[in-house]
Structure 1
């Protein structure tokens, strides 16, 4: 068996690539389940390329750091197949997560598919080595497979159990560590023997050519990471004064465009006069006897509609029923928390109403609208 080692800088770089790819792929799909079908497919495809490409890039960044006493190459066709395997396996997992109901079984299945994709990509990629043959131990393969399945299932459970920013960041950590650990656990159970000649099916890739390809893929992952990070953390911006004046509401009310469907004007009573507020400016509606209270910015406004009438009239504007006493505008929701069989929606920009309950019977529908 040949002695081998790894370049420390490239080991660190491989972990960084895995983490950036994980964040990009998981952040891109936040809210994807609420998108129209065509856009959801596009987002899932982009995420699959980011996550699957990240698995492949991490592997070959680490392999560029592999130091052997002999010269070796890679079969170009097998190397390409290894990348496609990772992308397709991750894509299948994302289809389950974003086109089917999320249950403990579906989360576990998706995580297992991702883990199997990591392992398959690793060993197919290794089989593409020329002038050098990897030799695997049974224990190394088993440990790598168990680690991949356990960490990938944990990553999907964390990232998709709740689609908050904190869960996505923690899921990113699990995903990146999963790819990293599986590679080096598998390498610990691998030996290498030299061969006199190669017999690949595709063109030969030297380390120099492979390095250029990996550099390009890593650059794309870094770009996706920066773009995802720029929109992942919201920045509060004041609305133009003209927008406030246009709807004739109090100064503290910051209107926004209705998320879906037609514009709806909602009556409210103030100073003995009936005024109107665009539905897009309403963050939530709460039942108050036979009437309702509108929450918008720091304002609490009395509305003559009942909660049932408000639900009927405001449905086309995108407001959803979360509880028998509450309607919510998803555009204003900044955080969702699961509390056993119920939930809570939080509003950073609505000082008069920091949170709204979600009843058990409406939990699934609210999660679907919020894309979680």
Structure 2
């Protein structure tokens, strides 16, 4: 066995990388569940690269901080695979919380995925060390597993239980310290045994080459951190309004049987709006967006399901992608074979197109 030490300045740099990548990844996805499918996929992919790349960078900054009395280097292929493992497993966790209904079970499962990603990245990365043999103690591995899974579940519960700015900041601190702590918990149960010198098979990386790659990835993470931080700071002190408070109270005796409650998702929670307060509904893949006086709201129901539920209401199909609440239409303009319904006074919706197939029914519903 050989004794190993650490450069404390590089350890601080490793912690900084973990915190910056955690903040970047968790902030990028704020509000992603209300985005269109294509844009949401892009944002989740970028976040996975930030979180997984940060886990990888933090590990190897910490490894550069480690000093051994014997020379050693890394297998290049294994080192690259360890980065891909972290990104793919982290990406799986983000898919769980940004596609489909965000339940308590999904948030916990996502946290477990990230915990597994940290562990897999660490031990795959360690297996790439050449010229010395790594020996793990059972107790060290068990404690590292418990710490990683438990702390990552806590981080995701804080960050995704409610998607407020302060939750993201606190979740960032827990995530960054988790990545940092798990590495050193695992290292406490790791010993190194020197091997006899011999030719190394395959492409290998010296500490100097690895330092160049890690510095480059850390620079990218720092740049992304600054870009995301500027936007995040402008909203940090915004007052968080409960969307349920935006509804105008309606007397219980005045409920219209044709009015239904439509769900919409915001800040990791499901809220409801009365259908008669919605001006129009737009299809977005398997989901829809509701045009309401409080904003453009993400609804998990499909336009087909909404059309069926609103069959007896004042909603009329004006286009294959739109349902229009004729009670909110303030003017109508005919344009040859199609038309436009206008919504004056609605800050979030100017007009909705009416296609040729539906224009006759729309005009009849408007009394024209």
Which of the five TM-score ranges fits, normalised by the shorter chain? 0.5 to 0.7
CA distance in 2, matches of 1:187, 1:214: 19
CA distance in 1, matches of 2:80, 2:43: 23
Is 1:76 paired with 2:76? yes
CA distance in 2, matches of 1:185, 1:133: 19
Contact 1:17 1:58 in 2 (8 A): yes
Is 1:229 paired with 2:229? yes
Q: Using the TM superposition, give the Cα deviation of residue 178 of structure 1 relative to its aligned residue in structure 2, in angstroms.
A: 0.7
CA distance in 2, matches of 1:41, 1:201: 39
The answer for the alignment partner of 2:112 in structure 1 is 112
The answer for the alignment partner of 2:56 in structure 1 is 56
SS of the residue corresponding to residue 11 of structure 1 reads helix
TM normalised by structure 1 equals 0.67
Is 1:168 paired with 2:168? yes
The answer for the alignment partner of 2:248 in structure 1 is 286
Q: Which runs of 5+ in 2 are unaligned?
A: 237-244, 255-272, 283-288, 298-368
The answer for the alignment partner of 1:191 in structure 2 is 191
TM normalised by structure 2 equals 0.67
CA distance in 2, matches of 1:79, 1:18: 18
Q: Using the TM superposition, give the Cα deviation of residue 202 of structure 1 relative to its aligned residue in structure 2, in angstroms.
A: 3.5
How many residue pairs match? The answer is 263
CA distance in 1, matches of 2:104, 2:185: 28
Is 1:214 paired with 2:180? no
SS of the residue corresponding to residue 234 of structure 2 reads coil
Instruction: Go from structure 1 to structure 2 and tell me whether the alpha carbon gap of 1:195 and 1:19 turns closer, same or farther (over 3 Å shift).
Output: same
CA distance in 2, matches of 1:2, 1:235: 51
CA distance in 2, matches of 1:105, 1:313: 34
SS of the residue corresponding to residue 248 of structure 2 reads strand
CA distance in 2, matches of 1:117, 1:235: 31
Q: Which runs of 5+ in 1 are unaligned?
A: 237-282, 291-306, 321-326, 332-372
| Aligned structure 1 segments of 4 or more residues deviating by more than 2 angstroms | 197-202, 233-236, 283-290, 307-310, 312-320, 327-331
Instruction: Go from structure 1 to structure 2 and tell me whether the alpha carbon gap of 1:22 and 1:199 turns closer, same or farther (over 3 Å shift).
Output: farther
Contact 1:128 1:200 in 2 (8 A): no
Is 1:65 paired with 2:65? yes
Contact 1:130 1:197 in 2 (8 A): no
Offset from partner CA, 1:42-84 (integer Å, 9 cap, x none): 1010000000000000000000010000110000000001000
Is 1:102 paired with 2:102? yes
Instruction: Go from structure 1 to structure 2 and tell me whether the alpha carbon gap of 1:169 and 1:65 turns closer, same or farther (over 3 Å shift).
Output: same
